[in-house]
C-alpha cells in the first residue's frame, strides 16, 4: 500500500494572511492542489493531510478529497507525523511519503522514480534530495565518501566547513517503510533548542539502528522551492509562469509578447493557438487550435473552439464553439454556451444561456437564462429580463428571429421562429412564428413643446450658427 502524509498545518506568518499557507495561490491554483495533482498523476491516492492554522478553511477546500487530521499544537514536523499515526496504523504493509505542504513544484515523475528507488533498495527510509547552486539555509545530505550511502542530514548551523560546501540538500520529503516509521515515531524527542519533534530525527534513528537509508536525487531541483513571504511567493509565481509558458511554446502555442500572460498549469492549449499580451487563463481551460485569446482577456474554466477569437473578454465557466468572434468588452458568465459561427460584440453580458449557431449579439446587450436559436439577430440595447426580484425565468428565442433595438424580453416568454420584435418594445407575451411583436404606445407629437423646453439650449447654440 502506498500512502502520503502531507504536512499542511503552517500559517506562514510573514505572508500576513488569514488562510493557511497551503491555500496560497500560484498561478491561481492553491499550493495544496499543485501537490495533490502531482500525487494523483503518480497514482498515490491514499492521502492524509495534517491541518493546523485555519484548518476549517483547508478542510472545506479539500471537501473530502482526502483524509485530514488536526494538529492542535505545532510542535515540529515529527509531531505533525505523530498526529497522523492512526492513519498510518490503518494503512500498514507498504510505504508512506512524508511531504511538506508548501512545495508546489513536485512532479509525478520524481514521486514515481523515488519510490521505485526506495523499494529497489529495500530501504527503511529514502530522502528525496536536490542539487542546488546555493544551498544556504537547507539541511545538507552527508554521504559516505566510499560507498555514497546516506549517513546524516546536517542542518546548516551544525555543519563543519566541508559539510557546508555540500550542494546536495534535503527537500524535506521522505519515503518511509510505513512499519519502520511507526516503530521510530514514539522514539522522537524534543531535546533540541526549539523544543520540537523533527522528522529528520527519525532518519537518524533508523541509520543508527542499522536500517537501510537512501537518498534519491531529483532531476528537477525546483522541487525544493517554497516561500515564506510575499516576495518569495512572487518569485514562485514567476517560476511557475515561465515553466508553463516554456512548455506551451515547445508544444507549438504562439505568443508574441509575454507581458501580463498568466496561464494555469491545468490549462490545455492546442498547438497553433495564439495567446496575446495581458491574457490570464485559469483553471481547466481548453483552447483549440487556431484560437486567438486576447489581448487583455481573462478566462477561467472555459472551453474555446477552433479559430475563435476572444478579444478583451472575461469568461468564467463558459463553452464557446468554433469560428466565433467574441469581444471586445464581453463578459461570459457560468453556464453560457455559444455555438459555432456566433458573434458576440462589444459591451455584452451573457449568463447561463445557449446562443445558437450563427447568432449575432452585437452590442450593448444582456442575455440571461435564455435559449437562443440559430441565426438570430439582437439589435443594440436589447435584453432579457430574467429576474422578477424573487425568481428567475427563461426566455426562448427560435431560429432566424430578429430582436429589434431596445427590446425588453420579460421572462418567461417565447419568441418564435423567424419572428420579429419592434424596436423599443417590452415583450411580455409570446410572439408566434413569423409574427411581429409590438409593445409600445403610439407616438404623439406636441407642437412647439421643444422650443419652450429647450430655450436655453437653443440660445447657447446660436454661437455656432451666427
Active site residues: 363
Query: In the structure grid, which three cell numbers stand for residue 308, read together?
Result: 475563435
H or E element in which residue 355 lies: strand 354-355
Q: Can you tell me which residue has the cell 539502528?
A: 209
**Residue at grid coordinates 542530514:** 153
Strands (E), 248-318: 254-255, 262-263, 268-269, 274-275, 280-282, 286-287, 292-293, 298-300, 303-304, 309-310, 313-316
Rounded Cα distance between 52 and 70, Å, is: 6
Contacts of residue 64, defined as CB under 8 A and 6 or more positions apart, other chains included, come to none
| Beta bridge pairs of residue 217 | 129
Minimal CA–CA distance to 403: which of 415, 424, 421?
421
For CA atoms 292, 293, 296, 297, the dihedral sign is: positive
- What single string gives the DSSP state of each residue in 203-221? HHHHHHTT--EEEEE-S-G
DSSP codes joined into one string, 273-285:
-EE-TT-EEESS-
Q: Are 374 and 390 in contact (CB under 8 A)?
A: no
How far is Cα 141 from Cα 132, in angstroms, rounded to an integer? 12
Amino acid at each position: 500500500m502506498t500512502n502520503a502524509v502531507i504536512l499542511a498545518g503552517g500559517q506562514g506568518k510573514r505572508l500576513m494572511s488569514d488562510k493557511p499557507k497551503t491555500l496560497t495561490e500560484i498561478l491561481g491554483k492553491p499550493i495544496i492542489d499543485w501537490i495533490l495533482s502531482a500525487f494523483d498523476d503518480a497514482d498515490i491516492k491514499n492521502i492524509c493531510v495534517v491541518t493546523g492554522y485555519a484548518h476549517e478553511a483547508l478542510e472545506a477546500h479539500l471537501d473530502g478529497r482526502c483524509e485530514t487530521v488536526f494538529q492542535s499544537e505545532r510542535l515540529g514536523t515529527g509531531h505533525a507525523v505523530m498526529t497522523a499515526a492512526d492513519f498510518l496504523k490503518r494503512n500498514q504493509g507498504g510505504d508512506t511519503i512524508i511531504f511538506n505542504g508548501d512545495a508546489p513544484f513536485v512532479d509525478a515523475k520524481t514521486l514515481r522514480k523515488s519510490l521505485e528507488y526506495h523499494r529497489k533498495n529495500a530501504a527503511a527510509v529514502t530522502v528525496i534530495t536536490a542539487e542546488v547552486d546555493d544551498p544556504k539555509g537547507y539541511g545538507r545530505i552527508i554521504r559516505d565518501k566510499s560507498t555514497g550511502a546516506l549517513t546524516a542530514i546536517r542542518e546548516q548551523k551544525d555543519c563543519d566547513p566541508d559539510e557546508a560546501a555540500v550542494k546536495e540538500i534535503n527537500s524535506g520529503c521522505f519515503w518511509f517503510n510505513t512499519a519502520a516509521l511507526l516503530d521510530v515515531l514514539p522514539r522522537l524527542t524534543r531535546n533540541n533548542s526549539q523544543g520540537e519533534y523533527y522528522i529528520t530525527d527519525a532518519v537518524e534513528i533508523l541509520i543508527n539502528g542499522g536500517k537501510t537509508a537512501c537518498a534519491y536525487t531529483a532531476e528537477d531541483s525546483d522541487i525544493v522551492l517554497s516561500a515564506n513571504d510575499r516576495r518569495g511567493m512572487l518569485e514562485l509565481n514567476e517560476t511557475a509562469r515561465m515553466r508553463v509558458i516554456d512548455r506551451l511554446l515547445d508544444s507549438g502555442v504562439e505568443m508574441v509578447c509575454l507581458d501580463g500572460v498568466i496561464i494555469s498549469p491545468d490549462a490545455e492549449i492546442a498547438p497553433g493557438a495564439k495567446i496575446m499580451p495581458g491574457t490570464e487563463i485559469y483553471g481547466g481551460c481548453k483552447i483549440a487550435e487556431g484560437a486567438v485569446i486576447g489581448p487583455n482577456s481573462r478566462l477561467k474554466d472555459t472551453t474555446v473552439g477552433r479559430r475563435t477569437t476572444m478579444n478583451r473578454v472575461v469568461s468564467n465557466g463558459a463553452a464557446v464553439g468554433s469560428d466565433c468572434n467574441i469581444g471586445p468588452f464581453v463578459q461570459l458568465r457560468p453556464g453560457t454556451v455559444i455555438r459555432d459561427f456566433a458573434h458576440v460584440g462589444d459591451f455584452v453580458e451573457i449568463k447561463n444561456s445557449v446562443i445558437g449557431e450563427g447568432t449575432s449579439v452585437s452590442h450593448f446587450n444582456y442575455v440571461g437564462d435564455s435559449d437562443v436559436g440559430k441565426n438570430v439577430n439582437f439589435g443594440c440595447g436589447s435584453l432579457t429580463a430574467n429576474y422578477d426580484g424573487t425568481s428567475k425565468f427563461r426566455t426562448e428565442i427560435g431560429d432566424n428571429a430578429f430582436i429589434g433595438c431596445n427590446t425588453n424580453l420579460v421572462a418567461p416568454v417565447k419568441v418564435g421562429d423567424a419572428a420579429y420584435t419592434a424596436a423599443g418594445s417590452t415583450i411580455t407575451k409570446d410572439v408566434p412564428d413569423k409574427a411581429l411583436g409590438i409593445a409600445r404606445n403610439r407616438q404623439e407629437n406636441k407642437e412647439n413643446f421643444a422650443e419652450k423646453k429647450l430655450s436655453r439650449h437653443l440660445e447657447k447654440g446660436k454661437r455656432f450658427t451666427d
